[in-house]
Amino acid sequence: MKFRLGINYWPISSAMYWWQRFDPVEVERDFGRIGHAGFDSVRIFLRWEDFQPAPRVISKQALADLGLVADIAARNDLSLIPTLFTGHMSGVNWIPEWALDTSLAGTTPSRFRIVSGGKVVHAAAKNWYTDDEVLAAQLRLAREVAARLRDKPAVWAYDLGNENSNCVVPPTREAACRWLAAVAGDIRSADPSHAITIGLHMEDLEEDRCLGPAEAAGVSDFLCMHGYPMYSSWGESATDAMLLPFLGIITRWLGGEDNLDVMFEEFGAPVAAGGHAPPPTHPIGAGIPLLQEDEAARFTGRALDALRRFGFLGAMLWCYGDYDAALWPRPPFDQSVHERYFGLWRSDHAPKLALGEVKRLSGSDRRSGQDDYAWIDIPRADYYLNPGKNLRNLYRRFRSSELAPQRNPL
């Protein structure tokens, strides 16, 4: 079985505004470039309001364009993971107007800006784990997307959301499980053949957000984790590659006795443009390092080697390309400078050095998983009693075990 190598995709020219400016010629060119570089899979994102402008309205044009993307992926021998209800993306929550509650604006501090209808709005997302009308709308979208894609040979899996806990948090585990069962059930009613997963992230391990690996495992065919050392306050450095397999192992362990496969669905590093880092324009961008290109390439290689060594299903890099400068005045790039530079290709489509690490591992066999949890000194049932402390303590134990190198190489 091959170690999967994937990439998260937004077009360079349009980023999160892709579906409003859809260009199949651009997608064909980009997917050809992705396949030639050694990737075998692509994760895409269905920005929610583009696909569902009203609760009972699914955009026929967006569905048709999605079908074209699946056909283009097939022509380029790429597997496809479409991500529903997006939702959180690159430091912004993109929520349809009908899924917002303006009465909640200002009642709690908002960590992420909400963009709806092309502008930043003062509101809060309705909690889709408890709001029956929003859930009914989500089920409609899930069914129609699955019905459109079920016969597409490129489809690999449906992703039930990108870091959903950055948008809303279920009030209880029971509410989370009901939502997961409902959405997964409606997808499988329309398409019983393809896998289902959900994009969990590091913060779902650092805090108890009521939808973690155990809940996801109830409906998923494989689990996913996202992690970025530069966002961690407890990793060894911004290029601590061993943090990634550790997060994946904890995900697999918390998922339960079945030891579901784990796909490390997102990792990456922003590279300084022109050899230097532009200054942040807003506090959101402060403290986020932009690496030199050779440094990012070494981190990418170490991370891929470590994830393969620990038997993961594969890894998907963030992300396809740096974004065109014309997009910088718009969210999220107006405030989050580092989000402009995560690409494996520059905005002029020139490749970065990290692509050499992808090519090196392309076609590699997957290694057997290492399920030795002897270094974990707490029961699963106790983990979320104090997840932040437990995660930090377990990382120290992992790094001091025989499984991990004792230091992070330069």
pLDDT at 103: 82
What pTM did the predictor assign? 0.94
List, as one string, the DSSP characters of 281-336: SSGGGTT---B-HHHHHHHHHHHHHHHHHTT-SEEEES-SBPPPGGGTTSTTTTT-
The vertex-46 CA angle with 359 and 131, nearest 5°, equals: 135
Q: How far apart are CA 48 and CA 36, in angstroms?
A: 30
What CATH number was assigned to the domain covering residues 4-400? 3.20.20.80
Q: What is the pLDDT along the chain (410 residues), one digit of tens a residue?
A: 899 999 999 999 999 999 999 999 999 999 999 999 999 999 999 999 999 999 999 999 999 999 999 999 999 999 999 999 999 999 999 999 999 998 866 665 578 999 999 999 999 999 999 999 999 999 999 999 999 999 999 999 999 999 999 999 999 999 999 999 999 999 999 999 999 999 999 999 999 999 999 999 999 999 999 999 999 999 999 999 999 999 999 999 999 999 999 999 999 999 997 644 454 444 444 568 899 999 999 999 999 999 999 999 999 999 999 999 999 999 999 999 999 999 999 999 999 999 999 999 999 999 876 567 999 999 999 999 999 999 999 999 999 986 766 554 44
- Hey, is 385 helix, strand or coil? helix
List, as one string, the DSSP characters of 89-129: ETTEEE--GGGEEGGGTTTS--SSEEEETTEEES-EE--TT
> What are the two backbone dihedrals, phi and then psi, of residue 293, each rounded to the nearest 5 degrees?
-65, -40
